[in-house]
């Protein structure tokens, strides 16, 4: 299932913290301890292996940024929104 630009905006608006970028979605996660951010990255990695789709990850001390690009050439789809939702759930458990 693929989305129009309007549908994309609506989908991303339902996901806390995520922002839409061209053919990509981005969220910055902040932690109060460095090792909590690292534990979160471990969860992100496990989820990414399960989806066989790996976000670009940046760790800048207690800040972790995920950049999830479209897996399919046709653009961001339901897959990315499910995956981003799982990242958010992992964040809620880890922080």
Residues engaged in binding a copy of itself (CB under 8 A): 34-35, 38, 41-42, 45, 48-49, 54, 56-61
Rounded Cα distance between 94 and 78, Å, is 24
| Least Cβ distance, residue 45 to a copy of itself (angstroms) | 4
* CB closer to a copy of itself, 13 vs 23: 23
| Least Cβ distance, residue 64 to a copy of itself (angstroms) | 9
* CB closer to a copy of itself, 18 vs 40: 40
Distant-in-sequence contacts of 9-15, Cβ < 8 A, 24+ apart? 11/81, 12/81, 15/81, 15/84, 15/85, 15/88
């Amino acid at each position: 299932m693929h989305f129009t630009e309007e549908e994309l905006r609506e989908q991303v608006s339902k996901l806390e913290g995520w922002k839409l970028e061209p053919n990509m979605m981005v969220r910055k996660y902040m932690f109060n301890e460095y090792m909590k951010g690292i534990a979160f990255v471990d969860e992100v990695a496990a989820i990414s292996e399960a989806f066989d789709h790996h976000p670009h990850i940046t760790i800048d001390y207690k800040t972790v940024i995920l950049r999830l690009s479209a897996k399919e050439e046709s653009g961001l789809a339901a897959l990315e929104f499910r995956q981003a939702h799982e990242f958010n759930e992992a964040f809620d458990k880890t922080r």
